[in-house]
């Protein structure tokens, strides 16, 4: 049968294939596609035009096959797509298949119908023009998880067609049971079990069929698949004995054919190519100095071009420019080396060096098999047989082989396979096996190929006088010979293996020993072709198992090895002394008497501050391992830290800096760069963490100035630290904020915020942060102006005496220059560091509930919980964008999107004409922020202060409370109130507690924040639908009302971010800022959300008036009065918060029980 193949792969792309089972972290589809991609790439790598493959998708969203276009009223062939028709596979096909073979959301599609489609593809492709089937190896591979719907009515007709067409059916199932492989899926569904049995039945009745599990197929991918080779003749002609042309009466010849018998397999070779890039408006060019015009482009990769060499030949010429003259290759002559003389031969005489030969194959003699030395084999072997169509030649050749076998002899022959080709001398040995008579040949060396080396004999020693000595220290004795013999016998691999019955067998069989180089490269090429971005996997165990002896055998032979070691008197190689870099290592004497060691033997001194450097160097000289060097550096680190800690101002810095310099120099000489780099990193952590005292950062600046930072690759070639990493570690970052040395001076904490000490006058971080959004000049002007404005408030008795010898301008220049561009904020980091975003896991559950049609109450609750983290994320992203846009545009941005959750929820209810719920939500937002908010931060502040009463300045909070009161009771005068708010907002608190909210560290990625903002808006709108649709069902199930849900529950969604802000700023003892957040939330509802909703309701023709329910209005008015009363006395106590929380719970309970009765 001709070596033609037609294989169709049927891949299940159903939605169930996207799931993960059996403890795998990858989906069932990705797990199964490992087998499919490997087989497709293997077919491509074979590069045979007669090997064709096709790909069919099962349970796809589209339908693309020829059978569905005919009479298919029942839709049996729906959701089956032919991704690739049968034919040779190319890289373009592979790229297209990678984009098409993805899991779909479809669950329908018959696997047996897909088999019928594959049968039709094979029949059309393999049928000749005469109508007869061609000689092909036909195969269908079905990869599925058995979760789809399979119609088994036509199984009989299908297997008959498979058998008639000679098609092999291979069914590989994801998590299909296979007792021989040892796999069984637990908790398998009845549907999958029935489909699995149906496919098993189909494979069993096929004449050629295989049924297995994908796990076994994927595991067997590590076993190399041997490529079948087609034998070809390298010689067809006559095998002669004697010169039959000169002496036809006495000479004979036989018509024979010679084939390769064993041929060395070699790995694929790589070719050099360059990437073709476009240079402006010109044509694409290859960016390589070795690329010539006319280079061919890759058909499979048109963006590449082959690299060709451009060799120029030059000779010295004084008259030419540059002293060189180019000459053509044709003008050159070849030179041969004869001894130490160069002999040139011109082109006209080059034919003298070529041996004129004609094609021939003649026997020149015979040798006995015992006289032939096996080491003379020079390469690959070939096999010679008689021409099968010549019966006379077959009989004569068989007689020759039989005669050589009976005489145990071999023939020596001279062969020239092609004209003008160099002749070879080969040895022909008879082969009689399985009724085959043949001659196997191996090439023999010429006399010039044999190198005669003279070695001293191993079994005797010849003295200078010529006497032979049989017992010598360099000769093995009987004990050593016996020990070696026992060890060799114990390490015998011929019987170490076990067969299927547990009997001893050969351990390293030839047919199981694969070339690591060939199969490693082939596997790497297949992996890179199927997944170019993934890293190349490690070599398979089957390729590496012969790289070392079996561990079990080594363990068993440990006793024999120990005896051999003792008999051979093996000793360890003398240890090398640790030498410094670029110096020669010295071996320790075998006697153990080292003069230098005897003279320098002393006990290591303790490294102290008084004698640190000499003691450190002496310890390094006595170290014998890297661990001891690390211990010495640790002790030096402790001394340096003590010097820094005990230093007054900077008087001890020079001494500590010199110690650091010595450590660096010694570690460079000893090539212990990692120890020094770890030492510097730990020292920086201690300094920045103020473990060595306050205001010690200037010492690390001294390290940077003295260039004593990390040992990077710029200093030492083999250092793993890059120059960029070393620069990053040497940078102090945004944490140098100490401007005074007096305890009452201006201080900044680690995060860049003013310290919270009560006896200090703080410089507001708001001035610095807001000024950093402008140019550098505005940074300096804003900061200096604020400092000049506040200078009278410092109340420092003698400021000039306590300031360092640096001006305010210089300090600010240094501060702003170092902080410029440093503050950064990451959305992912914020999500990972806040517990509220744990609720993001509810979002996929909510999507699942919609798909699975869960009860309305569950959908309502999941949608409710999903909106909570989305609202917090919305607030975070809005703050980032607002900070980036500046105070004016950013404030407008925050006003619009900061209340987007309220607006989206309310608009959704307006669309269903739930105006009562919308009003309840608005009043609930006011009630939440006027009562629950203050009670929350009062409780948190009380817990922070250990239940002590806290005081705060009432200047700003009094203004804010009045604003809240007026805005709450009078929603008819927004214009007048806006003018008043604009006037009142200009008043500033003189309390250090009242500060703006922290700006996130760093310039936010505006594009990323905008993308997240739009995505969150869409998700909130999507989740809100469950609240609107299921609110009635939720109220009935919980025996509450829509008013309770709108007044109590939904405001939690709108204000979840506000609650987080309450907690954060209160924990930092900033009550003024907490009251500011409350005021902001109330004013936002009154002056932005409510007017917007009224306008939106008007466009929707919804009657949204500002006449609220009496009970809601009364509750909001009372809560506002209570909050104003609490703010007037300027005191905060956790018990106040507990009382307010109790009031909130009572009102919530009342609305839950009597909501319908309260809606007057």
What mean pLDDT comes out for the span 38-48?
Answer: 86
What was the pLDDT predicted at 445?
Answer: 92
Position 361 scores a pLDDT of 96
Q: How many CB atoms are located within 10 Å of the residue 799 CB?
A: 13
CA dist., res. 924 & res. 903, Å (int): 14
Q: Is the pLDDT of residue 567 over 80?
A: yes
Q: What is the pLDDT of residues 800-854, one digit of tens each?
A: 333 333 443 444 344 333 333 333 345 665 666 566 667 777 778 877 877 777 7
Q: Which residue has the higher pLDDT, 235 or 348?
A: 235
**Predicted pLDDT at 72:** 62
Q: How far apart are CA 989 and CA 746, in angstroms?
A: 19
User: CATH homologous superfamily of domain 827-1158?
Assistant: NCX, central ion-binding region (1.20.1420.30)
Cβ neighbours of 859 (radius 10 Å): 23
Rg (Cα) of the chain, in Å, rounded? 44
Q: Residue 347 — pLDDT band, cuts 50, 70, 90? A: confident
Integer Cα distance of 22 and 5 in angstroms: 35
Burial of 616 per CB tally in 10 Å (0-12, 13-18, 19+): buried
Residue 122: CB atoms within 10 Å = 24
* Token pair for 764: 């507001």
Torsion, Cα 734 738 743 744, to 10 degrees, reads: -90
**pLDDT tens, residue by residue, 610-633:** 888 888 888 888 887 888 888 889
pLDDT in tens, 184-193: 888 888 999 9
C-alpha to C-alpha distances, 647 to 607, 615, 686, 739, 833, nearest whole angstrom: 19, 22, 15, 19, 38
CA 88 to chain CA centroid, Å, is 33
What is the 8-class DSSP label of residue 993?
A: T
User: At 589, is the pLDDT very low, low, confident or very high (cuts 50, 70, 90)?
Assistant: low
Question: What is the rounded distance in angstroms from the CA atom of residue 1017 to the CA atom of residue 1011?
Answer: 10
pLDDT score of 969: 57
As a whole number of angstroms, the distance between CA 805 and CA 126 comes to: 94
DSSP class of residue 377? -
Choice among 148-157, 419-428, 946-955 with the minimum mean pLDDT: 946-955
State the chain's maximal CA–CA distance in angstroms: 137
First to last CA, the chain: 94
User: Does residue 711 register a pLDDT over 80?
Assistant: yes
Q: How far apart are CA 1062 and CA 837, in angstroms?
A: 17
Between the alpha carbon of residue 430 and those of residues 241, 284, 369, 380, 438, the distances in Å are 16, 61, 10, 17, 6
Report CA torsion sign: 117, 121, 127, 128. positive
Q: Give the residues across from 543 on adjacent strands.
A: none
Q: Say how far apart CA 830 and CA 1038 lie, in whole Å.
A: 35
Percentage of residues in the chain having pLDDT higher than 70: 71
* Assigned superfamily of 5-222: von Willebrand factor, type A domain (3.40.50.410)
pLDDT of residue 946: 58
Phi-psi region of 838 (alpha: psi -120 to 50; beta: other; left: phi over 0): alpha
Sign of CA dihedral 82, 85, 86, 88: negative
Note the pLDDT of residue 579.
46
Residue 80 is predicted with a pLDDT of: 92
Q: What is the DSSP letter of 208?
A: S
Burial class (CB in 10 A: 0-12, 13-18, 19+), 164: exposed
Q: With bands split at pLDDT 50, 70 and 90, how would you rate the model's confidence at 220?
A: confident
* Residue matched to tokens 């040779």: 88
Please give the Cα distance from 459 to 1160 (Å, whole number). Answer: 119
Asked whether residue 994 carries a pLDDT value surpassing 80, the answer given is no
The per-residue pLDDT for range 20-38, each reduced to its tens digit, is 988 888 999 999 999 999 8
**Is residue 736 pLDDT above 80, yes or no?**
no
Residues in contact with 628: Cβ distance below 8 Å, sequence separation at least 6, in sequence order? 619
Residue 1011 has pLDDT above 90, yes or no: no
* Residue-level pLDDT at 762: 31
Q: List, for residues 858-906, the tens digit of each pLDDT value.
A: 777 777 777 777 777 777 777 777 666 665 565 566 666 666 676 777 7
Pick from 17-31, 37-51, 705-719, 742-756: least confident: 742-756
Tokens standing for 99?
């984009």
Given a cut of 90, whether residue 395 has pLDDT beyond it is: yes
Q: Which of 563-567, 712-716, 918-922 has the lowest mean pLDDT?
A: 918-922
Q: Which residue has the tokens 């000499």?
A: 614
Confidence class of residue 529 from pLDDT cuts 50, 70 and 90?
confident
The DSSP element (H or E) to which 252 belongs, if any, is strand 252-262
Query: What is the fold, at CATH topology level, of the domain defined by 595-730?
Result: 1.25.40
Q: Which has the minimum average pLDDT: 349-353, 591-595, 931-935?
A: 591-595
Q: Residue 295: is its pLDDT beyond 60?
A: no
pLDDT tens digit string along 95-109? 899 899 999 998 888
Average of per-residue pLDDT across 375-388: 90
Give the C-alpha separation, 991 to 979, whole Å. 25
**Rounded alpha-carbon distances, angstroms, from residue 694 to 741, 819, 885:** 9, 20, 37
* Residues 6 or more apart in contact with residue 751 via CB below 8 angstroms: 998, 1001
Report d(CA 923, CA 1046) in Å as an integer.
9
Provide mean pLDDT across the span 518-547.
83
Report pTM: 0.46
Cα 801 from chain centroid (whole Å): 58
Q: Residue 45 class from Cβ within 10 Å (0-12 exposed, 13-18 middle, 19+ buried)?
A: middle
**In this model, does residue 955 exceed pLDDT 70?**
no
Cα angle 729, 732, 738 (rounded to 5 degrees) comes to 160
Q: Which two tokens stand for residue 143?
A: 């990869």
- Please answer whether residues 109 and 78 qualify as being in contact, where contact means their C-beta atoms are separated by less than 8 angstroms: yes
Please give the pLDDT value at position 338: 79
Asked whether the predicted pLDDT for residue 730 surpasses 60, the reply is yes
Dist CA 861 CA 858 (whole Å): 5
Rounded to an integer, what distance in angstroms lies between the CA atom of residue 12 and that of residue 58? 5
Query: Among all chains, which residue has been given the structure tokens 């920045």?
Result: 688
Q: Which of 563-577, 774-788, 848-862 has the lowest mean pLDDT?
A: 774-788
442 exposed, middle or buried (CB, 10 Å; 0-12, 13-18, 19+)?
Answer: buried
- Give the pair of three-digit tokens for residue 1120: 């506002």
The pLDDT of residue 489 is: 92
Return the minimum-mean-pLDDT range out of 157-161, 397-401, 783-787, 1134-1138: 783-787
Collapse the DSSP code of 194 into the 3-class scheme (helix H, G, I; strand E, B; otherwise coil) and give the result: helix
pLDDT in tens, 1070-1126: 666 666 677 777 777 777 777 787 788 778 877 777 666 667 777 777 777 777 777
HSE, CB side, 13 Å, CA atoms: give it for residue 454: 0
Q: What pLDDT band is residue 982 in, cutting at 50, 70 and 90?
A: very low
Mean pLDDT of the chain, nearest integer = 75
Strands of the sheet with 80-87, listed across from one edge: 80-87, 51-58, 5-12, 137-144, 167-173, 209-213
The pLDDT of residue 728: 82
Q: What is the C-alpha to C-alpha distance for residues 264 and 269, in angstroms, rounded to an integer?
A: 15
Residue 55 has pLDDT above 70, yes or no: yes
DSSP 183: B
* Pairing assessment for the beta strands 461-462 and 468-469 based on DSSP bridges: antiparallel
Helix boundaries (H) for 436-568 = 478-490, 516-530, 541-544, 551-556, 558-568
For tokens 């954060």, the residue is: 1064
Q: Which of 327-331, 439-443, 494-498 has the highest mean pLDDT?
A: 439-443
- Give the pLDDT of residue 236: 94
Helices and strands, counts by H and E, the chain: 40, 26
Residue 714: is its pLDDT beyond 50?
yes
| Confidence (pLDDT) at 776 | 35
According to the model, what pLDDT value does residue 297 have? 45
Q: Which of 38, 45, 89 is nearest to 220 (CA)?
A: 38
- Write out the H or E segment, with its range, that includes residue 844: helix 842-852
- Give dist(CA 391, CA 844) in Å, integer: 79
DSSP states of 1098-1154: HHTT----S---HHHHHHHHHHHHHHHHHHHTTEE-HHHHHHHHHHHHHHHHHHHHH
- Distance (Å, rounded) from C-alpha 882 to C-alpha 897? 10
DSSP 78: T
What is the token pair recorded at 727?
A: 């620069």
Between 104-113, 293-302, 429-438, 878-887, the lowest mean confidence (pLDDT) is in 293-302
User: What's the rounded mean pLDDT across residues 953-981?
Assistant: 52
Domain-wise residue ranges, the chain: 5-222, 595-730, 827-1158
What would the mean pLDDT of 51-76 be, rounded to a whole number?
84
10 Å CB burial of residue 47 (0-12, 13-18, 19+) is exposed
| Burial readout 282-314 (b: 16 or more C-beta within 10 A, e: otherwise) | eeeebebeebeeebeeeeeeeebbebeeeeeee
| Tally of CA atoms within 13 A in the half-sphere of 947 that contains its CB | 2
């Amino acid at each position: 049968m001709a070596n033609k193949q037609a294989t169709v792969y049927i891949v299940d792309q159903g939605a169930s294939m996207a799931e993960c089972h059996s403890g795998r972290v990858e989906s069932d589809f990705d797990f199964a596609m490992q087998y499919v991609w490997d087989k497709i790439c293997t077919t491509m790598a074979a590069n045979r035009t007669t090997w064709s493959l096709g790909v069919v998708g099962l349970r796809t969203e589209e339908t693309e096959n020829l059978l569905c276009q005919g009479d298919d009223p029942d839709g049996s062939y729906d959701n089956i797509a032919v991704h690739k028709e049968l034919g040779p596979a190319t890289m373009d096909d592979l790229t297209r298949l990678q984009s098409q073979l993805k899991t779909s959301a479809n669950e329908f599609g018959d696997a047996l119908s897909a088999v019928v489609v594959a049968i039709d593809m094979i029949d059309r492709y393999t049928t000749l023009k005469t109508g007869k089937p061609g000689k092909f190896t036909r195969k269908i591979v079905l990869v599925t998880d058995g979760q789809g719907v399979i119609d088994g009515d036509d199984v009989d007709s299908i297997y008959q067609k498979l058998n008639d067409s000679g098609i092999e059916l291979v069914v590989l199932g994801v998590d299909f049971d296979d007792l021989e492989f040892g796999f069984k899926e637990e908790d398998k569904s009845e549907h999958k079990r029935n489909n699995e049995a149906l496919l098993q039945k189909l494979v069993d009745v096929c004449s050629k069929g295989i049924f297995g599990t994908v796990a076994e197929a994927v595991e067997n991918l590590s076993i190399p698949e041997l490529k079948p080779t087609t034998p070809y003749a390298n010689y067809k002609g006559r095998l002669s004995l004697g010169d039959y042309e000169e002496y036809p009466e006495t000479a004979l010849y036989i018509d024979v054919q010679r084939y390769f018998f064993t041929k060395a397999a070699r790995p694929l070779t790589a070719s050099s190519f360059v990437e073709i890039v476009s240079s402006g408006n010109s044509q694409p060019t290859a960016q390589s100095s070795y690329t010539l015009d006319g280079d061919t482009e890759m058909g499979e990769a048109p963006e590449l071009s082959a690299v060709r060499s451009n060799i120029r030949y030059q000779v010295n010429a004084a008259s030419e420019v540059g002293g060189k003259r180019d000459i053509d290759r044709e003008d050159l002559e070849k030179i041969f080396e004869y001894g130490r003389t160069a002999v040139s031969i011109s082109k006209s005489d080059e034919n003298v060096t070529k041996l004129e030969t004609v094609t021939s194959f003649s026997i020149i003699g015979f040798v006995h098999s015992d006289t032939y030395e096996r080491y003379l084999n020079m390469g690959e072997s070939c096999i010679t047989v008689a021409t099968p169509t010549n019966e006379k030649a077959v009989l004569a050749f068989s007689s020759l082989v039989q005669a050589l076998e009976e005489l145990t002899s071999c023939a020596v022959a001279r062969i020239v396979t092609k004209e003008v080709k160099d002749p070879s001398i080969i040895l022909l040995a008879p082969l009689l096996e399985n009724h085959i008579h043949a001659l196997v040949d191996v090439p023999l060396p010429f006399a010039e190929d044999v190198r005669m080396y003279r070695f001293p004999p191993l079994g005797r020693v010849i003295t200078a006088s010529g006497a032979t000595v049989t017992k010598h220290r360099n000769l093995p004795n009987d004990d050593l010979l016996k020990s070696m013999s026992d060890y060799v016998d114990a390490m015998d691999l011929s019987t170490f293996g076990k067969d299927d019955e547990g009997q001893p067998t050969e351990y390293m069989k030839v047919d199981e020993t694969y070339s690591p180089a060939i199969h490693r490269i082939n596997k790497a090429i297949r992996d890179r072709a199927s997944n170019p971005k993934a890293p190349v996997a490690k070599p398979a165990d089957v390729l590496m198992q012969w790289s070392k002896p079996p561990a079990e055998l080594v363990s068993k032979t440990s006793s024999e090895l120990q005896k051999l070691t003792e008999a051979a008197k093996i000793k360890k190689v003398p240890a090398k002394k640790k030498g410094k870099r670029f110096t020669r290592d010295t071996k320790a004497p075998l006697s153990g008497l080292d003069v230098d060691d005897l003279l320098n033997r002393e006990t290591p001194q303790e490294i102290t501050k008084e004698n640190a450097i000499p003691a450190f160097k002496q310890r390094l000289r006595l170290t014998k391992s890297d661990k001891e060097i690390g211990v010495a550096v640790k002790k030096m680190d402790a001394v340096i830290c003590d010097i820094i800690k005990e230093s007054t101002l900077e008087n001890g810095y020079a001494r500590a800096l010199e110690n650091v310099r010595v450590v660096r120099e010694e570690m460079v000489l000893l090539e212990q760069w990692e120890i020094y780099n770890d030492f510097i990193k730990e020292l920086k952590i201690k300094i920045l963490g103020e473990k060595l005292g306050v205001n010690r950062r200037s010492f690390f600046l001294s390290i940077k100035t003295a260039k004593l930072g990390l040992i990077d690759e710029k200093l030492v070639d083999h250092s793993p630290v890059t120059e960029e990493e070393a620069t990053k570690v040497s940078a102090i970052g945004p944490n140098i904020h100490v401007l005074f040395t007096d305890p009452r001076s201006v201080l900044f904490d680690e995060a860049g915020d003013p310290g919270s000490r009560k006896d200090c006058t703080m410089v507001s971080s708001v001035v610095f942060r807001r000024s950093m959004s402008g140019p550098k000049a505005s940074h300096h002007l804003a900061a200096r102006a604020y400092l000049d404005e506040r200078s009278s408030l410092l109340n420092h008795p003698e400021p000039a005496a306590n300031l360092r010898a640096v001006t305010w301008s210089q300090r600010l220049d240094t501060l702003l220059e170092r902080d410029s561009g440093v503050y950064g904020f990451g959305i992912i980091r914020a999500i990972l560091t806040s517990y509220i975003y744990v609720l993001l896991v509810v979002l996929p559950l909510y999507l699942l509930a919609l798909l699975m049609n869960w009860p309305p109450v569950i959908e309502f609750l999941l949608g409710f919980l999903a909106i909570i983290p989305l609202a917090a994320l919305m607030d975070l992203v809005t703050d980032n964008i607002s900070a980036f846009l500046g105070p004016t545009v950013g404030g407008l941005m925050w006003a619009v999107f900061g209340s987007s959750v309220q607006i989206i929820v309310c608009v959704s209810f307006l669309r269903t004409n739930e105006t009562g719920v919308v009003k309840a939500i608005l009043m609930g937002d006011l009630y939440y922020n006027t009562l629950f908010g203050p009670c929350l931060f009062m409780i948190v502040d009380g817990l922070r202060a250990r239940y002590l009463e806290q005081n705060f300045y009432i200047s700003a909070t009094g203004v804010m409370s009045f604003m809240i009161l007026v805005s709450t009771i009078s929603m008819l005068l927004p214009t007048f109130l806006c003018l008043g708010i604009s006037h009142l907002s200009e008043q500033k608190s003189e309390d250090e507690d009242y500060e703006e909210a922290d700006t996130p560290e760093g310039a936010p990625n505006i594009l990323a924040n905008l993308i997240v903002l739009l995505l969150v808006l869409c998700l909130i709108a999507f989740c809100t639908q469950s609240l609107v649709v299921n609110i009635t069902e939720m109220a009935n199930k919980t025996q509450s009302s829509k008013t309770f849900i709108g007044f109590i529950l939904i405001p939690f969604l709108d204000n979840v971010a506000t609650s987080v802000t309450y907690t954060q700023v209160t924990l930092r003892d900033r009550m003024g800022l907490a009251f500011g957040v409350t005021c902001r939330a109330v004013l936002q509802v009154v002056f932005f959300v409510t007017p917007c909703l009224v306008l939106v309701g008007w466009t929707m023709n919804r009657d949204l008036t500002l006449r609220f329910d009496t009970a809601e209005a009364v509750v909001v008015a009372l809560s506002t009065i209570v909050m104003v009363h609490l703010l007037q006395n300027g005191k905060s106590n956790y018990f106040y918060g507990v009382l307010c929380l109790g009031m909130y719970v009572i009102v919530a309970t009342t609305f839950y029980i009597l909501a319908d009765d309260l809606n007057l």
